[in-house]
Chain A
């Protein structure tokens, strides 16, 4: 079991650019979650999927953010256009029953 895999680990981009974060959940897990972590706001749930279908995106900050899960083994979180206030660590997590399993995160810096 390789765990939840996120890429890239670090992303530095300029304001206005498109950013795509990627996640491969643990095989067999039917829920996938995207979280954002900042010093000020802690861990915030952005969106989650069940069986590849978005269930709750009420945490997505605004229309600049979008997430997709085209199949059970892959999800993306896209920010377009990016802004400096989007700088944070973005975590993907998956679960079957019980607790969440987190990836190591993508640290995004928007300059």
Chain B
């Protein structure tokens, strides 16, 4: 069965600093991979997705993520964090074999200090 691990429950960074959020997945084949962001009281919004091709994926709001098959990872990065990036971030894995299910990680809460 698919699984997703986000090792960091909570991360604090200063505004302007770089950010990397970790995501590791367990899946037997090439998965679909996603990063979502959730602001308080809101639903999840898609930041970026990987289906195939270039392993470095660009998303909205200046985020990018890199798929590394050898490490079973899909880490999210941003070179310079803005205060408005404070939110909770979820990594998710889907099945290219046909199932429509997405499995989500437990999330990483990002706090941005001024």
Binding site for B on A (CB under 8 A): 4, 31, 33, 42-43, 45, 48, 50, 55-56, 91, 93, 98-105
Contact = CB atoms under 8 A, between A and B. Distances in A.
B43 A43 contact: no
A45 B95 CA distance: 14
Contact of B101 (A56, A103, A104, A105): A56
A102 B43 contact: yes
B54 interface: no
Given A43-B90, A91-B44, A105-B43, A100 B106 contact: no
Could you say which interface size class chain B belongs to?
A: 10 to 19
Nearest to A58: B101
Q: Is chain A's interface secondary structure helix, strand, loop, or mixed overall?
A: strand
B104 interface: yes
A45 B101 contact: yes
Given A4-B43, A91-B43, A104-B41, 6 more contacts: A43-B90, A48-B100, A98-B49, A99-B49, A100-B102, A103-B43
A79 to B, nearest CB: 20
B82 to A, nearest CB: 22
Contacts of B46: 99-101
